[in-house]
Structure 1
């Protein structure tokens, strides 16, 4: 069992930290909104007063924060991980950020005598709550092996995909596929509804054939109910599609569908849907089809 600092206790980070505490690890959690430490404390963890407080004495530092600047601040700030972690500490960044930033921060971590893994996750809030996340890990193989007990407490499919930055690159591909699937499902829903088809029955049979997918299984009910409580917010997917398009341009790769889907996600975000679940891409298709709903 490890002593773990967990920074970022939001929709994803909170259940992950709780699972680690219930698995027997000593977890100190920090969040900018202190009330979000309550589930961790109830699970036997400790609420830290600052990043520095959480990190002191930790063997592992886990991060789950929104974007590249947030990760950089947590790691390099005056109160940050690099300034307070002991040499040899293993940093596991579960956040989804730019691959180039990850490689840069991994190099800085090494300069401080720290180990660094980028380990973005897929599976959304449901995966976090059920400890069933897919985790794509970049970094040193020995560090990956050392992190096994941490990954096992929060994930189900855990794969080492290459050196630093590789996890973030695979996550970018994941977000491209997920956004394209959600958009296709949203368009199918509007299409089926226009012809008066029994929508629930249609989605059931589509889910049993080649059109079936994890996206259809997990997002169909939100679309059927037109209820978009966030499991993964459109604003965050908008950020991720920016990572995809930027990284593709750097690599000289052309992603025609990716570029279009990125613009549709950007439109949803600009239209005020950023705080909704990404299944609310349905609302964008409805707007384009002249049938907007409240």
Structure 2
């Protein structure tokens, strides 16, 4: 059993914390939304009233937050994790943020004697519920080995991908691929329906061929039904596409398809769909087609 402080109990974090509790770890959690903390208590965790209380006595601290500014506030600012956690603890940031923010957190942690990993995840809400997430980890191999039992309670595909910030770069690559595939699935649906072809049957056969992919497996039915309850919101994917484009600029590479898909995501947000699931890119494709 490991004493874990968990900060950020939203759509993903709440299920991840529950899985850690189910695996036998002692989890103390904090979130700015009181109802989220209540859910943790119902799952068997210990509620905390602030960050300092959540990380007091923790061997491992996990943060699962929306974006870089929240990570900076929660981890680096006065009253944050690094000012409250004991030296020697392991901080695992599982948020999807800019690689440079992860490197800054790691440097600040080193000054305090706190080990740091960046470990963003892929798999959405269902992956968090089923503990089947893919976890891409940046940091030292030794700290990765220490964290392995924690990761085993959360995911199935767990890979150390390089030094600090590398996990975030891999996550950026993941997000540009996911948005691109969703966009193409949306275009396929629009084409099939406009051609009076049964889209359910059409996507069924596509899923069995070379065009098969996880988006078809997980989201085709809800997209055809126009059910866009969020597992991962457009607002967050918009943020991630910005991270991907900035990473490309820093690396000096051109990602032309990523640029187009980023504009589709931005259009979905501008049209007021930011709170919907990222599969609501279908709405943008329909709008462009006048349907």
What is the aligned partner in structure 2 of residue 97 from structure 1?
A: 97
Partner Cα separation in structure 2 for residue 176 and residue 153 of structure 1: 27
Q: Does 2:5 align with 1:5?
A: yes
The alpha carbon displacement at 1:35 in A equals: 1.1
Partner Cα separation in structure 1 for residue 277 and residue 137 of structure 2: 25
Deviations 1:83-117 (A, max 9, x none): 01100110000100000111111111101100000
What is the aligned partner in structure 1 of residue 109 from structure 2?
A: 109
TM-score by length of 2: 0.99
Aligned residues: 291
Partner Cα separation in structure 2 for residue 108 and residue 9 of structure 1: 24
Partner Cα separation in structure 2 for residue 199 and residue 258 of structure 1: 26
Partner Cα separation in structure 2 for residue 31 and residue 39 of structure 1: 11
Matches within 5 A, 1:261-280: 261-280=261-280
Matches within 5 A, 1:16-95: 16-95=16-95
| RMSD after superposition | 0.6
Q: Structure 1: which 4+ aligned runs deviate by more than 4 Å? A: none
Deviations 1:38-81 (A, max 9, x none): 23212211010000000110000000000000001110122211
What is the aligned partner in structure 2 of residue 237 from structure 1?
A: 237
What is the aligned partner in structure 1 of residue 210 from structure 2?
A: 210
CA contact (8 A) 1:18 1:39 kept: no
SS at 2:153 equivalent: helix
Partner Cα separation in structure 1 for residue 128 and residue 37 of structure 2: 16
Gaps of 5+ in 2: none
Partner Cα separation in structure 2 for residue 157 and residue 251 of structure 1: 26
Partner Cα separation in structure 2 for residue 77 and residue 246 of structure 1: 24
Gaps of 5+ in 1: none
